Structure 1
Amino acid sequence: LTKHMRIHTGENLFTCTQCGKDFVDKKGLTRHLMVHTREKPFKCTQCRKSFRDRSALKDHLDSHAGVKSFSCDQCDKTFVLVSHLRTHLKVHAAVKPHVCSLCGKSFSRLHTLKEHQNIHTGMKPYICDCGKSFTAQSNLIEHQKIHTGEKPHKCSHCGKSFFYLKSLKDHERVHTGEKPHQCSSCGKSFAHLPNLLIHKKKHCPKMYK
């Protein structure tokens, strides 16, 4: 209980000097530092992906098996990890107590706020083996799929797979016919933003001079 209360009081926390993330114990900080050192000793036998600790590898193996044991009681979404379920539940609760002092944007988790502030400071503490760096750990994880060849986002209409969730959503518009990007001048709609920009350059050239 004493350790848990540190989350609320902010006292006696172990802080990462490289990104500012806080931990209630030294063990958590030590495990986190592997993010920056890029040490990943636990390897998946089914793919080339590696992990910082054994529990993360176990969770990853569940994803290969398709095991999603944790269900949201407010919608039909299921998750491999209970931590993912907890994060998802905040979407329903709409609780965002952590506010950025620079732009006013609010977040449900303090860690997410700290990563967001990297955008303002230009800090990119999450570094890939290829040398590319990122402001947020989630962006690094998404990027690393290019190297591993992992394409976890699969289209339910045609079976095509993608590295990124955004790419899948863009692709699905081919099947759904959705065109969310509308020209403010003539009202014509497009499935993809680049197509709208090309259209505007032709019909509204003064905007691009």
Structure 2
Amino acid sequence: MTSDTVPAETDSTSLAKDAEPVFRVVEDQETRRGIRLERIYWQVLRNIAHATAQRPGALVKSIIDQAPGLTNTTSLLRVYCLKWMIGELEATRRLADPSLVINLIRASPGAAFALGLDKRIVAYNQSFLNFVRARFSYTEQNLTGKDLRLALDVHLADLAQSLKTNGNAPIVVGFVVGVGERRVRGKLNTLLAPVSGQNVVLCYVLL
């Protein structure tokens, strides 16, 4: 068994604990309510209250007020928690969409491009195209063609790991871009793109 493998009984214990009904009294300025709810739902309600800057009692009251005709309070709270979590998941998926990489690069006012760990240029903007053209009189539209050479001073896999380790704070690295026999050196601000399932490094040229 590897060190990162979680024993099955640990998962079962955690699941059983989360499913354990817990009775709590919640109160706002007007009322006190005694509610029995699974432990995991209390955790979600605390998270929602924190995210929305509310007291738990005020949050529970606002949820109940949204469906005044429903008498099953615990079912209402469970459904609300589930809908909130689904909304959070959808928001995360939108942020992790690969198209975000292109948009982040295009939105940069300076020269910028994105590299996959396979060293493939995933995206670049007009400013980067102008940067290359100005230095090499390069007229081709396709910057990933055989004539263009681009390399960083560090291995991409090592850079990606360093960015993960330091909380994705930008790291300055050197780079070389070349066309034919000519080379130009420079520096980049780098960070990982917020996309799921792949490592893409965003590179912003420092002039």
Range class of TM-score, shorter chain: under 0.3
TM-score norm. by structure 1 comes to 0.22
Query: Which protein, 1 or 2, shows the higher relative CO under an 8 Å CA cutoff with sep ≥ 6?
Result: 2
TM-score norm. by structure 2 comes to 0.22
